[in-house]
Structure 1
Amino acid sequence: MTKTLGEKITELRKDSKLTQEQIANYLEINRVSLANIENDKRILKKGDKLLLQIANLFEVDEDELLDGTKKEEYKKIKEDDDHKKFKNLILYILTKCGQKPNIGKTVLNKLLYFSDFNYYENKWENISNQDYIKLPRGPVPKDIDDVLTQMEDDKQIEKLETEFKGYKQIRFIPNIRYDLSVFNGLEIEIIDNVIEKLSNMNAKQVSDYSHNDMPYISTKNIGDKIPYQLAHMRSGEYISKSENND
């Protein structure tokens, strides 16, 4: 488990057989202030004079102390981010059902696809402004890998490599809360319906299900972009019409 900055400082102090009072005197602060730092009640950031003094005292690098701290490390999605809504859609889905053991990357891709195409079927526009590509395991958002990497780098999500029923699985855990204000009521309704209907499927089940959706079937070649307009050719259980679509 990753240690916080306070835990690291406490460990270094104890290893050096120094008391809080001795360290506080060296830093020219009182013992209570040091205790607050060690208990992570006072957060030190890169460039802070106290952090540099502590690093020098224990002969460690400032970045080494900060690496892995749990506070002040997550970056919010910027207002001018081209993928702002797509990232919030990912966060929304992960928050609502990402804790389920079957929700790996394959299932996430399909939940994103059906959210976008179901909304397009109702409103002639998508939610995330993403194109989707026809791949052997079903539809995949064109920019998904780049976007997930950006979100990992900004600590908005955490990537885990696990196993599910004997198969390797890539999972993502949200570190920040989605911004609900970027969605309208119908978008939330449709996303929630997709989660309710499909989020209990495993990767094979949801992939097989997506293979029978008309937009996927009607797109000729692997690697081709799936036209959103094909959502209006759906039939049977794939039709997604909301009662609130006026």
Structure 2
Amino acid sequence: MSYPLPMLINHEREKLIEAVKFFAQNTRKLGKTKLFKLLYFLDFTHFKDTGRPVTGLEYFAWPMGPVPTDLFEELKRPERDWDGNCSFEFFSTAKGQMLRVEALSEFDSSHFSKRELRIMHSLADQFKNSDAEQMVEETHLENLPWHQIYEVEGRKQESIPYRMAVRRQEEGAVMSLAADRAELVATLRK
């Protein structure tokens, strides 16, 4: 008799699931658009500080702002690792199909560094009562990566490189910090 193999979950995937739970438990009106913007701010803010994102999602410049397209597609048919963690309920409104995100279990902070948790708490406090339209406005501000790619460069639907979170004069220092950290982690794993 064969048994299904358990799904292998990497550390970034665990962080993604836990971050979604965190935002579902600490903000109001969490739908798809608001969730995508919170994850974008989490990843790009952390990258700006450390040279690495939290969730590892890739974001694309869509008309309503940055969208992690892999997660966008997955929410239509969530993977099994969401079971018991989050629910994604689609419902109809006057504005069309909407998604409601709810946490089904308690957030586990052990997956995150103090810096990551600080960023998450700051974002939850800042955007606790914001709706999707307000979140879209925040990502469209001038000089932010989405604005540069979509509006200035006209590269609609294209990937938003994380390095755009860092000012050019700081890029070398941040990337050096990320390389040093990666080297340290590789050494510790030996």
Same fold (TM over 0.5): yes
Q: Within 5 Å, give how 1:60-209 maps onto structure 2.
A: 79-80=9-10, 83-97=13-27, 100=28, 102-148=29-75, 149-150=78-79, 154-162=83-91, 166-168=94-96, 169-209=98-138
**RCO comparison, higher one (Cα < 8 Å, 6+):** 2
2:88–2:102 Cα contact (<8 Å) kept: yes
Match of 1:228 among 149, 162, 173: 162
- In structure 1, the residue corresponding to 2:90 is in which secondary structure? strand
Equivalent-residue separation in structure 2 for 1:108 and 1:153 (angstroms): 15
Unaligned runs of 5+ in 1: 1-76, 235-246
Question: Structure 1 pair 218/80, CA: closer, same or farther in 2 (3 Å)?
Answer: closer
TM-aligned CA deviation for residue 142 of structure 1: 3.0
Deviation at 1:145, TM superposition (A): 3.0
1-side partners of 2:99 and 2:129: how far apart?
17
Instruction: Please tell me whether the aligned partners of residues 17 and 82 of structure 2 are also in contact (alpha carbons under 8 angstroms).
Output: no
Q: Which runs of 5 or more structure 2 residues have no equivalent in the other structure?
A: 1-6, 169-190
Question: What CA RMSD, in Å, does the superposition of the two structures yield over aligned residues?
Answer: 2.6
Q: Does the 8 Å contact 1:152/1:158 carry over to 2?
A: no
- Report which stretch shifted further, 87-96 or 132-141: 87-96
Cα deviation for residue 153 of structure 1 reads: 6.3
Aligned CA distance change for structure 1 residues 163 and 146 (closer, same or farther; 3 Å): closer
How far residue 125 of structure 1 moved from its aligned partner, in angstroms, is: 1.0
Contact conserved, 2:23 with 2:30, CA < 8 A, in 1?
no
Greater mean deviation of Cα atoms: 151-160 or 167-176: 151-160
Q: Which SS does the other structure have where 1:193 is aligned?
A: helix
Q: Percent of aligned pairs with the same residue?
A: 24
User: Aligned equivalents of 2:30 and 2:11: distance in 1?
Assistant: 26
TM-score, scaled relative to structure 1: 0.56
- The Cα offsets for residues 160-199 of structure 1, whole Å up to 9 and x where unpaired, read as 23467x5343111111223211100010001111111123
Matched residue SS, 2:79: helix
- Aligned partner of 1:214 in structure 2 is 144
- CA distance in 1 between counterparts of 2:122 and 2:12 reads 26
Q: Would you say the 8 A contact 1:211–1:217 is kept in 2? A: yes
Larger Rg: 1
